[in-house]
Structure 1
Amino acid sequence: MILTNCAACAAPLAHTAPRCVRCHTRYCNKTCQMDHWRRGHKQMCKKIHRGGNAEQYHADKKYKEAVAVAVEKCADDTKGQTCYICTQSLHWKTKEGLVRGCACRGTAGFAHVSCLAEQAKILVAEAEENNLGFKVLNERWARWSTCGLCEQRYHGVVSGALGWACWKTYVGRPETDEVLRMAMNLLGNGLYTAGHYEDALSVRAAQLSTYQRSGASAEDILAVQSNLANTYAALGRLEKALSMERDIYYGRLKLNGEEHRQTLVVALNYASSLVQLQHFEEAKSLMRKTTPVARRVLGAGHDHTLRMRTVYAVALSLDSGATLDDLREAATSLAETKRTAQRLLGGAHPIVVAIEQALGGARATLSARETPSSSPPSESV
C-alpha cells in the first residue's frame, strides 16, 4: 500500500500489480520480476519474508533509519538526560538514545521513540480490546502524535520517527480497517513535518487511492485531498495545490459549515497558497473572514489561529499596494502573535521560527518605507 512503485524499474503500480509469491514484493510484470531476481532479489527474498514480507520489512527498516536520525538531531539537547517513561538513558532493548520534539522545557519530555510508541500502542490496544468506542480510541490515538506531558504535538524528525513507528505497528491490517487508515495518515503527517515531502506525497497519494478503493466517507476523502494539496505546495507545485485547495475549501463549507475545525484548517492552507502565488487581496479577504471564527472555535492560542494571523500579516506586508498603516499593522500583529506562540509552544517550535522570520521581513519592509532614501547633495555651480 505504501510501496507503490515497481521494485525493479520504479514505475508506478496499481494495487493489483503482480508480486513475488514468497515476500510479496510488487512488480510491473514478470519481466521486471525476473530482472530483479537476477539483480539480487534472490539473495534478499527469504530475509524479506522472514521480516514479515515487503511492506512490514520496509516499514521496520525505515523506522530504524528515522529513529537514528531523530536521536542524532536531538543529541545536544538530550545529553545527560533519562527517559521519563523507562527512566534509562539508553533503551534497554534497542539501545537507542533519547529524543525530545515537543514543547516541554527543562528536564521534562525526554524519551525514547520506542517507549513513546509502546505507550501509544498499549493505549490503543486497550481501547480496541475493550470496545471503548471511537471517541476513546481517537483520544488515545493522539498519543502517537502528541506529548503526554505538555500536550503539544511532536514536530520535526521526532514526528517522522513516530510516523514510521505507528505504520510498522499496524501495516498488516486490511485496507478497510480504521486503525490502518489512521496509521497511514499519521505516517504522511510525520514525513511532512520532518520535511520529507516527496515521501509524504507518495504516502498521501497511496492513502487517497486506498480510501477511494475501500469506500471511505466524503469527510475522510476531503481530509486526504487536503493533506495531498499541502504536500504539493511544500514541493513548490503551487498551481496544483491551489486548484485542489479551492475545491477542498468549498467542499468543506458545503459539508461541514464555516465553524468546523477542518473548514478552518483548509481555509488556512488555501490562504497560504494564495499568498505564495501573490494573490494577496484574495488571501486577506479569506483570513479576515475565517480568523475571527478560528479564535472563537479553536481559541486564540491554537496553532491554526496563530498561523492564520501570520498568513494575514504576511499578505499585508508583501502586497505592493500596502500603505504604511498596513505595514505597521502587520508588524504589530506578528509581534503579538510571536509572544503568544513562544509562551505556548517554546522558542524552538517551527511555528515560532516561521513567525519570527515573517516579523523580521515585515519590520524590514516597514523600516525601508518609513526612512526616506537620502540623495547626495548637488554640487554648487
Structure 2
Amino acid sequence: MILTQCAVCATELGTGGKRCGRCSTRYCGPACQKQHWEAGGHDKLCKMIKKGGGAEEYHAEKKYKEAVAVAAEKYADDTKGQTCFICTQALHWKTKEGLVRGCSCRGTAGVVHVSCLVEQAKILVAEGEENNLDYEAMQPRWDRWTQCSLCEQSYHSVVRCALGWACWKTFVGRPEMDPTRQLALCLLGKGLSAGGHYEDALVVQEAELATGRRVGTSENANHMLTVKSNLAKTYQSLDRSEEALSLRQEVYSRTLKLHGKEHGRTLQAASNYVSSLIGLKRFQQAKKLLRKSIPAARRVLGESNQITLHLRCNYAQSLCCNAAATLPELREAVTTFEDVERIARRVLGGAHPFTTGVEDSLRKLRDALTTRETPSGSA
C-alpha cells in the first residue's frame, strides 16, 4: 500500500504525523520513531531507503519486485520455452525475471517481461511530455501502462497489479498535485484490486479521494468520478454493498448529467450501478435501467465492447438471480449468457477472467434450469 500508516503501530496518519528527516519514513509521533530506530532496525535501513529515493519510493520498488515475482511464477508453465515479444529473450537481461501473459493474445503472442512493458510505457510517456502533447495525444501512450500493444486489450490479474506498482514507483517522486502522479496513484489502486489485494486498494483509493477533496477538485470532475467508481468496486469486493451502491448511484447520476445517456462513461457507470442493484436483489430497478442502457451500448459501442458485454451479463443475472424467475426468464438468461460467452471468447480469449466468469455462471444456470425442467420424482 502507499505509506499512510505509522511504520511502527500502523496508526492512520492522513496528512499528519512525523517523518524521518533522512528517508521520510512516517510515524505517528516521536515515541514510535525512537522505538523504530532503536529496536525496529531502522538505523540499519535508513541510508538504504534514502538511497532508494525515500520511504515511498523504496516501498514501491520493493512491492513492484514482489508483484513481478508473483506474476512470473503464475505464468511459468504457460510461457515455458517462449520468448518476450519485446526483447526476444526468455529471461530478462537485467532483472532475470521470467515471462508473463495477462492480456487477450493467443498462442505465443503477447508473452512478455513485465520490465519490458514498463520500459516501453516509460519511454512513450516521457516522449509525450517532452513534446508537450495534449490529453488526446497522450492517452494512447498512457494506455501502455494497462493495455497490450498487440491485442489492445487490458492486462488483468497479477500482471495488472505489477504494472500498477511499476507506474506508481515511476512517478511517486513528483509533486502531489502533478496530474501524472495522480494518474499513477489511480492505476496503482486499480492494479491492487485486479490482483485481489482489496484492503490495500481501499487504502490507496480512499487516500486518492481525500487528496482530491483537500485540494478542491470538483466532485463532478471526471477524475473524481473515476476515483469514486474504483472505490465503489473495491467496496463491492469487500462485501460493503450498501456503500458501493451509494457511490455508484452518485457516479451514474453525475456522469449522466455531464455526458448524456449514450456516452461511454455513462454506460460504464450504468453497468456498475446495475451490478450493485442486482447484488442487493433490487431486480426491477436494475431491469429498468438495463432496458435503456443495453440498446444504447449496442448502438454506440458495438456488440463486442466489454461495457456492452457486462451490461448483457447484468441483464441475464437480473433474470436468473431472482428467486421468482420463471422458466422462460431462465431460458432467456441462458441464451444471453451463451451469446456473451461466444463473443467474450473471441474477443478476450478463453483465459480472460471475464470469459471464465461467464462460463461459470452459464454452467450453474444450466444446472438450475435442468433441475427446474425435470418433472418431480423423475430419474
| Superposition TM-score, scaled by structure 2 size | 0.96
AA aligned opposite 1:112: H
1:305 equivalent to 2:308? Answer: yes
Q: 2:225 aligns with which of 202, 215, 222?
A: 222
Distance 2:378 2:56 in 1: 67
**Pairwise mapping of residues 1-381 of structure 1 onto structure 2 (< 5 A)?**
2-38=2-38, 39-217=40-218, 218-374=221-377
Structure 1 runs of 4+ with >6 Å offset: none
Distance 1:194 1:296 in 2: 33
Describe the SS at the equivalent of 1:259. coil
Q: Deviations over 1:78-132 (max 9, x none)?
A: 1000111111111111111111101111111111101000001000100000112
Distance 1:92 1:375 in 2: 64
Q: Which moved more, 1:291-300 or 1:225-234?
A: 291-300
- Tell me how far 1:137 sits from its aligned partner: 1.1
Describe the SS at the equivalent of 2:317. helix
AA aligned opposite 1:33: Q
Distance 2:283 2:154 in 1: 30
CA contact (8 A) 1:310 1:358 kept: no
Q: Which moved more, 1:276-285 or 1:72-81?
A: 276-285
- Tell me how far 1:297 sits from its aligned partner: 2.0
Distance 1:371 1:242 in 2: 37
AA aligned opposite 2:313: T
AA aligned opposite 2:330: L
Describe the SS at the equivalent of 1:46. helix
AA aligned opposite 1:8: V
- Tell me how far 1:259 sits from its aligned partner: 1.6
- Tell me how far 1:188 sits from its aligned partner: 1.0
Distance 1:368 1:223 in 2: 42
AA aligned opposite 1:12: E
AA aligned opposite 2:8: A
Q: Deviations over 1:226-259 (max 9, x none)?
A: 1101100011111111122112211211222212
Aligned alpha-carbon RMSD (Å): 1.4
Distance 1:8 1:247 in 2: 37
Distance 1:291 1:32 in 2: 55
Q: Which moved more, 1:252-261 or 1:79-88?
A: 252-261
AA aligned opposite 1:251: R
CA contact (8 A) 1:67 1:161 kept: yes
Distance 2:185 2:250 in 1: 23
Distance 1:216 1:142 in 2: 24
- Tell me how far 1:375 sits from its aligned partner: 7.2
Q: Deviations over 1:302-321 (max 9, x none)?
A: 11111111111011011122
Unmatched tracts of structure 1, length 5 or more = 377-381
Distance 2:21 2:71 in 1: 35
- Tell me how far 1:365 sits from its aligned partner: 2.0
Describe the SS at the equivalent of 1:76. coil
Match of 1:379 in 2: none
CA contact (8 A) 1:166 1:183 kept: yes
Distance 2:353 2:279 in 1: 18
Identical pairs, percent: 59
